[in-house]
């Protein structure tokens, strides 16, 4: 029995693995990062604050450009409708005067 | 240099609106109870044409007529009483049309109604290049200038639409 005890004691005796072992274990632990979702992978480039501000700036410029274009279109539409009304008015006046002249010419001819 | 400046200034009316209300009549605008001032040059005519629907028959006719037009100008004054403008004012307009290319095709005088209507056409070769209607009534003075290639048939087709009286170009006067 004592021989068995000695053998077990010998086998289970604590041994110092040395500094290299400790370094290797720590390195492996650091390398084994948790798995990221695809979204986190995609946005990882924007994590730094500067990139976030740049992205916000680009988005703001795009919105501003879209807004200005919308206003330009609205302004052009208003101008076009006004021109159309002026055109109809001009043709109405011209038509009325031509009609008067035509009536008088035909009156004289009768 | 001086000669070039004079020639350039003489050429300017060719490029600008040709027929204008004289300055003496323009001053009467403040006395007019109603005045109409329409100035549609080529660019504005194109813009107006873009907003005319090709699907609506009325608007399609107008849109069709715009081809070849360079400008439409209307100046009209309506006064509350007679005598606000003089015969000299009308003559100042008429004198602008006594230039080569322009010819009077209709002149109607009604002494009873004291109305005087004249229609001038500008011809460029065999084509019509402009139309002027000068209507002088006791309380109203109207000048209509349509610049560009006008198809009188298309103009007559507008009659009955947009409040425009129907103009029968084909009607021949008959004598009984």
- The tens digit of pLDDT for each residue in B36-65 reads 999 999 899 999 999 988 888 888 888 888
Residue B3 lies in a domain: no
Mean pLDDT of all residues in B132-140: 94
| Interface mutation vs chain B, best among A78, A79, A102, most B CBs within 10 Å | A102
Total-model pTM: 0.69
The domains of chain A are located at 2-109
In this complex, which of B48, B74, B166 lies closest to A93 when CB atoms are compared? B74
Q: Which residues of chain A neighbour B173 with C-beta distances below 8 Å?
A: 105-106, 109-110
Best CA proximity match to B116, nearest among B85, B160, B153, B147: B85
Q: Which residues of chain B neighbour A75 with C-beta distances below 8 Å?
A: none
In this predicted structure, what is the pLDDT of residue B75?
Answer: 93
Q: What is the ipTM metric for this complex?
A: 0.79
Residue B72 lies in a domain: yes
Give the residues across from B131 on adjacent strands: B121, B146
In this complex, which of A77, A89, A108 lies closest to B36 when CB atoms are compared? A89
Contacts of B157 (CB under 8 A, 6+ apart): B61, B65
In this predicted structure, what is the pLDDT of residue B171?
Answer: 47
Residue B29 lies in a domain: yes
Question: CA of A62 to nearest chain B CA: how many angstroms apart?
Answer: 28
Residue B6 lies in a domain: no
In this predicted structure, what is the pLDDT of residue B15?
Answer: 39
**Residue B93 sits in which domain range?**
18-157
Strands (E), chain B: 34-41, 69-78, 102-110, 115-124, 127-137, 140-148
Higher pLDDT, B154 or B133: B133
Residue B167 lies in a domain: no
- The tens digit of pLDDT for each residue in B64-102 reads 888 889 999 999 999 999 999 989 989 999 999 999 999
Q: Which residues of chain A neighbour B34 with C-beta distances below 8 Å?
A: none
In this complex, which of B50, B159, B164 lies closest to A80 when CB atoms are compared? B50
Tell me how many domains chain B contains: 1
In this predicted structure, what is the pLDDT of residue B154?
Answer: 74
Query: How would residue B25 be classed by pLDDT, with cut points 50, 70 and 90?
Result: confident
Query: How would residue A106 be classed by pLDDT, with cut points 50, 70 and 90?
Result: confident
């Amino acid at each position: 029995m004592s021989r068995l005890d000695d053998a077990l004691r010998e086998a289970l005796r604590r041994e110092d693995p040395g500094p290299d072992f400790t370094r290797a274990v720590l390195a492996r632990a650091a390398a084994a990062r948790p798995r990221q979702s695809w979204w986190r992978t995609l946005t990882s480039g924007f994590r730094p604050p500067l990139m976030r501000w740049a992205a916000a700036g680009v988005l703001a410029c795009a919105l501003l450009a879209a807004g200005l274009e919308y206003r330009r279109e609205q302004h052009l539409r208003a101008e076009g409708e006004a021109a159309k009304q002026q055109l109809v008015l001009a043709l109405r006046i011209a038509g009325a005067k031509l009609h008067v002249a035509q009536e008088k010419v035909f009156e004289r001819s009768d | 240099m001086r000669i070039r400046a004079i020639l350039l200034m003489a050429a300017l009316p060719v490029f600008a609106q040709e027929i204008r209300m004289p300055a003496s009549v323009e001053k009467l605008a403040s006395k007019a109870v109603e005045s109409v001032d329409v100035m549609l040059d080529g660019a504005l005519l194109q813009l107006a044409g873009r907003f005319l629907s090709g699907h609506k028959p009325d608007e399609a006719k107008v849109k069709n007529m715009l081809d070849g037009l360079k400008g439409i100008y209307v100046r009209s004054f309506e006064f509350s009483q007679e005598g606000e403008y003089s015969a000299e004012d009308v003559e100042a307009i008429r004198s602008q049309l006594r230039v080569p290319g322009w010819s009077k095709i209709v002149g109607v005088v009604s002494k009873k109604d004291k109305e005087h209507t004249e229609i001038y056409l500008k011809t460029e070769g065999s084509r019509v290049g402009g139309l002027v209607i000068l209507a002088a009534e006791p309380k109203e003075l109207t000048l209509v200038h349509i610049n560009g290639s006008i198809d009188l048939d298309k103009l007559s087709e507008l009659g009955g639409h947009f409040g425009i009286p129907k103009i029968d170009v084909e009607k021949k006067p008959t004598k009984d």
